[in-house]
Structure 1
Amino acid sequence: MQVYPNPSNFPVIDSSVRQNLPFTLKDVRSAIPAHCFEPSTARSLSYFCFDIGIIAGLIAIAAYLDSWLFFPIFWFAQGTMFWALFVVGHDCGHGSFSKHKWLNALIGHMSHSPILVPFHGWRISHRTHHANTANIDTDESWYPVTEAHYAEMGFLEKLMRFYLPLLAYPLYLFRRSPGKQGSHFMPSSSLFKPSERNDIIVSTVCWLAMVGFLATLTYQCGFLFLLKYYLGGYAVFVIWLDLVTFLHHTEDDIPWYRGEDWSFLKGALSTIDRDYGIFNLIHHHIGTHVAHHIFLNMPHYHLKEATEAIRPVLGGYYRKSNEPIWKSFFKSYFACHFVADSGSEIYYQSPHLH
């Protein structure tokens, strides 16, 4: 793994000097070919259609076989493709699916509503995350709690945040992360501006329509039908979503910042690229995350090329892990619980190591 420079290795200890990176956002941008920032509507649509087609085909095969020997395989495959579909909606949320805002919103809802994600509610909270990545005070997703906050957390909160993190996403949609209030479904939530009210209503209505469809399906065909053809795959999707997003930002040598010590570029560099093996292609290379955080409006199919272009500029500030995903997850699972109550350029700590 290429490691983010540790402050103790800097020859000059003055914090005002350490705040400055040896390159600017403009330097990084200039290294990337211009076409990497140009979305192709046809290409983006092809990924959406491919994912939908695979999901439909899997359901048809499962219905034809109707075998409990096959359903676990089906759930894994379906949940994996649900996650791929989420990534297509993710591009829509960043405006990198196409240059047409209406098309981004349409495909975003068609990608996210079937997997019970409120598109605009998620899009806006995700925007907050990107604008504040690695900022202890204002980040939105998988940010550390302070040691004092950790000591005050109740059993259920610790259970979901630290011991069952791969099942946390549905709860996050309703309750957000520790220390924050608001729902992704309510226009009155502090997540949203008054001007975004109509967007939130549209996404919530779409989400409720999907819930209504699933409820009708259950009423007509029974709960076992829902379990076989939807809930099993949905559970796998949630695990994928939590696993990948957790690993984007959770490692004990990734720095976090407070106050003036934080900057957008430093925060964007506090993430890490991961290798998911055969799933890289299936998941549209969402593990290529450093370039995405620096330039969030770049289509996913240009991220690999952009990453190779910026690596010489970033040097040791670029982070990539090639260790097995399960190993990375369990390492962070046990080592990353809280950060210090004060200071900046701080790192995760664990109560197990105190």
Structure 2
Amino acid sequence: MVTVSQPQVSSAPKTLPPDTTLRSIIKTLPPECFTKNPLKAWSGLLFSVIAVALGYVSIALSPWYLLPFAWIYTGTALTGFFVIGHDCGHRSFSNRNWINNLVGHIVFLPLIFPFHPWRLKHDHHHLHTNKMDEDNAWYPFTEELYKEVKPYERTAYRLIRGKFWWLGSIIHWANLHFNPSLYPEKQRKEVIFSAGLVIAYAAIAFPLMILAGGIFGWVNFFLMPWLVYHFWMSTFTIVHHTMPDIPFKTKEAWNAAQDQLTGTVHCEYPAWVELLCHHINVHIPHHISTGIPSYNLRMAHESLKQNWGDYLYETTFNWKLMDRISSECHIYDAENCYRRFDQLS
């Protein structure tokens, strides 16, 4: 398998045998990977509720000089809420869709994240992972597109493809999830409901925070943990599919088996992050099948390593990795995968 713990010479992912299909890869996984376990699902939710509650207690009790640590912990625990909602969105939390929708909406509320708009756009990402002009999860600009877009769009793109990658999730959240016109007519009622629900939640929760603790109370209990949550969302998302040697494909060249298996990155984070975030960064099996619950991802990954190990891209989170991505993965080039901004013609 391709393993990266620090910058290395780029090498394109290996090509699968021509008769390999996504279904044939799925068939190599143990059936237990797809089994929903209500005890594990609900205990995972309870774990996140307790973790987030402890985070807010730590914020309330911490002296000013310990607040950054409390914010980091709480924001990371809130990311665990997102992963629970992520399972709900893929219908892998429960066999009953009304439970998936209910739990998904509840855990997304403190994140001010509309459940249905995210679910619908995220499903599209899974259908078109690493497909140019289709994938909506941080697809790269070509030089032609970069020159065509408006100046403010170029500025935003340069920020999130450079050292401010950690803002990308906020821009993605604001642009995609509150505008019903971006969705087909049949989906708009769900989009409006979810967006309206989080707006109503914010309209109630934010004034109460300010009433109880002033503006600093809002900053302390919402804004700073929320920014940490978006730091992880930005980092996880860009690392999942962005490396200097992982290509995006045109519609004609794209292949589901090849580009889901070899275009997805497995990244190991510190154990406390993995625990609080329910191992969502064991990400390759999730792109082989969204039906695998988060608590079965490591089991599925071990199976993929045994059967498809030569094709897996594995790495470890560190600042060298993020520097490599943010320094090299700027403008998409079909021949070399990426060019830097300073290499534009």
Q: Offset at 1:202?
A: 1.8
**Would you say the 8 A contact 1:271–1:289 is kept in 2?**
yes
Instruction: Look up the match of 1:113.
Output: 109
SS of the counterpart of 1:321?
strand
Q: 1:219-234 alignment to 2 at 5 Å?
A: 219-221=210-212, 222-234=214-226
| Separation (CA, whole Å) in 2 of partners of 1:351 and 1:21 | 35
SS of the counterpart of 2:136?
coil
**Would you say the 8 A contact 1:19–1:261 is kept in 2?**
no
Q: Offset at 1:325?
A: 2.5
Q: Offset at 1:265?
A: 1.8
| Separation (CA, whole Å) in 2 of partners of 1:319 and 1:209 | 42
SS of the counterpart of 1:260?
coil
Instruction: Look up the match of 1:97.
Output: 93
Verify: 1:285 aligned to 2:282, yes or no. Answer: no
**264-273 or 152-161: bigger deviation:** 152-161
Query: Percent of aligned pairs with the same residue?
Result: 30
Instruction: Look up the match of 1:214.
Output: 205
TM-score, normalising length: structure 2: 0.89
Verify: 1:351 aligned to 2:345, yes or no. Answer: no
Instruction: Look up the match of 2:181.
Output: 188
SS of the counterpart of 1:104?
helix
Deviations along 1:142-176, whole A, 9 cap, x unmatched? 1111012224452532343323221122222232x
SS of the counterpart of 2:180?
coil
Structure 1 146/117 Cα, relative in aligned 2: closer, same or farther at 3 Å?
Answer: same
Structure 1 186/150 Cα, relative in aligned 2: closer, same or farther at 3 Å?
Answer: closer
| Separation (CA, whole Å) in 1 of partners of 2:16 and 2:25 | 17
| Separation (CA, whole Å) in 1 of partners of 2:209 and 2:309 | 54
| Separation (CA, whole Å) in 2 of partners of 1:331 and 1:91 | 30
Q: 1:160-309 alignment to 2 at 5 Å?
A: 160-163=159-162, 164-175=164-175, 183-189=176-182, 192-221=183-212, 222-269=214-261, 270-278=263-271, 279-309=273-303
**Would you say the 8 A contact 1:27–1:313 is kept in 2?**
no
Verify: 1:76 aligned to 2:72, yes or no. Answer: yes
Q: Offset at 1:84?
A: 1.2
* Structure 1 portions without partners, runs of 5+: 10-17, 176-182
Instruction: Look up the match of 1:312.
Output: 306
Of residues 122, 135, 139, the one that matches 1:139 is 135
Instruction: Please tell me the residue identity of whatever aligns with 1:241.
Output: M
Q: 1:7-46 alignment to 2 at 5 Å?
A: 21=18, 23-46=20-43
Q: Which has the higher contact order (CA 8 A, sep 6+)?
A: 2
**Would you say the 8 A contact 2:88–2:101 is kept in 1?**
yes
Instruction: Look up the match of 2:55.
Output: 58
Deviations along 1:64-106, whole A, 9 cap, x unmatched? x252122111101100101111111111111111111011001
SS of the counterpart of 1:188?
helix
**Would you say the 8 A contact 2:2–2:313 is kept in 1?**
yes
Q: Offset at 1:5?
A: 6.6
Structure 1 140/158 Cα, relative in aligned 2: closer, same or farther at 3 Å?
Answer: closer
Of residues 27, 34, 47, the one that matches 2:44 is 47
| Separation (CA, whole Å) in 2 of partners of 1:49 and 1:5 | 42
**Would you say the 8 A contact 1:5–1:317 is kept in 2?**
no
Instruction: Look up the match of 2:123.
Output: 127
Instruction: Look up the match of 2:331.
Output: 338
* Residues paired across the two proteins, number: 331
Q: Offset at 1:27?
A: 2.6
| Separation (CA, whole Å) in 2 of partners of 1:286 and 1:253 | 22
TM-score, normalising length: structure 1: 0.87
**240-249 or 312-321: bigger deviation:** 312-321
Structure 1 276/128 Cα, relative in aligned 2: closer, same or farther at 3 Å?
Answer: same
